[in-house]
Amino acid sequence: MPAIVLVGAQWGDEGKGKVTDLLGSSVDYCVRYQGGNNAGHTVVVDGESYAVHLLPSGVITPGCVPVIGNGVVVDPAVLLDEIAMLEARGVSTDRLLISANAHLIAPYHATIDKVTERFLGKNQIGTTGRGIGPTYADKVNRVGVRVQDLFDPGILRQKVEGALDQKNHLLLKVYNRRAITVNEIVDGFLRYADALRPKVADTSAVLNSALDDNKVVLLEGAQATMLDVDHGTYPFVTSSNPTAGGACIGSGVGPTRIDRVVGVLKAYTTRVGAGPFPTELHDADGQHLRKVGGEYGVTTGRPRRCGWFDAVIAKYSTRINGFTDYFLTKLDVLSGFERVPICVAYDVDGVRHDEMPMTQTDFHHARPIFEYLDGWWEDISGCRSFEDLPKAAQAYMKRLEELIGAPVAGVGVGPGRDEVIAIRELVPAA
Ligand code: GDP
Ligand code: IMO
Ligand code: MG
């Protein structure tokens, strides 16, 4: 059976958690392959809302094995809190597997994340402050600490010493903060070792043998294409690769085993944190989208910046990820507008761009060129087929489909598990 990759097509919060949950019952393994607890994925089941930050959204689905892949950065305190929170609500986490190769977020990573942002001043990224960037920096710089190091206290101490050596100079001399002792970090980490040990596995081996056994493996991206460190709006990005290629690296599943790549796409656009956003609205329409769409961050509670749908970005996202299908979410939020604009191209200093501009300077100067479609007023949350939708909503969806370069396999018309229009199966029949 194939592996399926699910990727956010915009700047995050497209509703990936909901789509994962929808696929959940047909999926045997649900894998996070990058990011950490900067993510916030909401799953609504029978009116009950669950927010997961570090665990894959598939943890909510009974029978699905949640896996934290090698590409994820793990804050062990957050992980154990999230496990406890779910267990207290009756969700079993017994099946959870964690890659021995995943890197650990230490308290000094969050400290450095926050002080770096403060020193950037008006150029700050608006990170979630969870230590994500500094942990990936240590990984690439080869001074990271991995989950497997928790089980070898001698090695753990050596690695923490190596990691703190430079950092303490930086913290003391540049940022004017107190030095961090090796003991406090090592002792802190070792407190989690016993609780984590039974869940730690060679997850690449587990996933590949599951695929050999005809199991369905869903590789669930956090963040999104435009936040990708290589393909997003650098430097206003996260420090990992949410795009489809990152799924292979972050899980140890090779590209030939991937059969489908599903883009999750909001019917309008949102962004949290700083960085360019051509279709951003600063008016009553933007406030309306925020209010009706509930556009407040699941992780930091920050109001999300809101704007119209941007087809240039969707088309770019299709190219970067090789999407085979799209799942369009939150179409219901667009009810109640006289007309609904779609950004079809950019004007960059007087020149029309139908594709994503090559440079960030041009992207910062991009002004949206809109096409205007008729709006609709009906509440569409009860629609369960394409034909149930008002004609204007049908036309909006069809126009998006023409512009974005891959077919729409499903449409979200509300946060609930059943509030969906299924158009084509995303998980191939066994
Ligand atoms: P993720 O980070 O991509 O998983 O998305 P978030 O959970 O951060 O944000 C998406 C929000 O939209 C959540 O509150 C979901 O419950 C909600 N949601 C998802 N799909 C739909 C939909 O089709 N309609 C509406 N109204 N809300 C949705
Ligand atoms: P989900 O998975 C939206 C943004 C932050 C900031 C930038 C870098 O819920 O879609 P970081 O803490 O990662 O170094 O911050 O990335 N960001 C997200 N925005 N949804 C997310 O996750 C995000 N995770 C990070 O706001 O602009
Ligand atoms: Mg989110």
User: Are the C-beta atoms of residues 15 and 329 closer than 8 Å to each other?
Assistant: yes
Binding-site sequence positions: 12-18, 38-42, 128, 142, 223, 238, 298-304, 330-332, 412-414
Give the separation between CA 62 and CA 147, rounded to whole angstroms.
26
Binding-site sequence positions for IMP: 13-16, 38-41, 128, 142, 223, 238, 302
DSSP calls for 205-232: HHHHHHHHTT--EEEE--S-GGG-TTTS
- 381 CB-contact burial (10 Å; exposed 0-12 / middle 13-18 / buried 19+): middle
- Which tokens go with 413? 């018309």
Our answer on whether the CB atom of 294 is closer than 6 Å to any ligand 1 atom is: yes
Q: Quote the ligand 2 centre to 131 CA distance (angstroms).
A: 12
* CA-only gyration radius of the chain, Å: 22
pLDDT score of 176: 86
pLDDT score of 301: 87
Q: How far is CA 80 from CA 133, 200, 319, in A?
A: 21, 13, 38
Ligand nearest to the CA of 295: 1
SS3 127: coil
Our answer on whether the CB atom of 54 is closer than 6 Å to any ligand 2 atom is: no
- Catalytic (active site) residue 347: no
- Catalytic (active site) residue 13: yes
- Catalytic (active site) residue 365: no
CA dihedral 305, 307, 309, 314 (to 10 degrees): -40
pLDDT score of 229: 98
Q: Quote the ligand 3 centre to 64 CA distance (angstroms).
A: 21
Q: What is the mean pLDDT of each run of 10 residues along the chain (430 residues)?
A: 93 96 92 97 91 96 96 98 97 97 97 93 95 98 97 97 92 87 97 97 98 97 98 98 98 97 98 97 97 91 96 98 98 98 98 97 98 98 98 98 97 95 82
pLDDT score of 174: 85
Among all chains, which residue has been given the structure tokens 């079809």?
A: 344
Looking from the CA of residue 221, the nearest atom of ligand 2 is 2
H or E stretch including 264?
strand 258-266
Our answer on whether the CB atom of 127 is closer than 6 Å to any ligand 2 atom is: yes
Our answer on whether the CB atom of 272 is closer than 6 Å to any ligand 2 atom is: yes
Ligand nearest to the CA of 271: 2
Would the pTM count as exceeding 0.95? yes
Q: Quote the ligand 1 centre to 80 CA distance (angstroms).
A: 25
pLDDT score of 236: 97
Our answer on whether the CB atom of 333 is closer than 6 Å to any ligand 2 atom is: no
For the chain, helix (H) and strand (E) counts, in that order, are 12, 20
- Which tokens go with 75? 């804050």
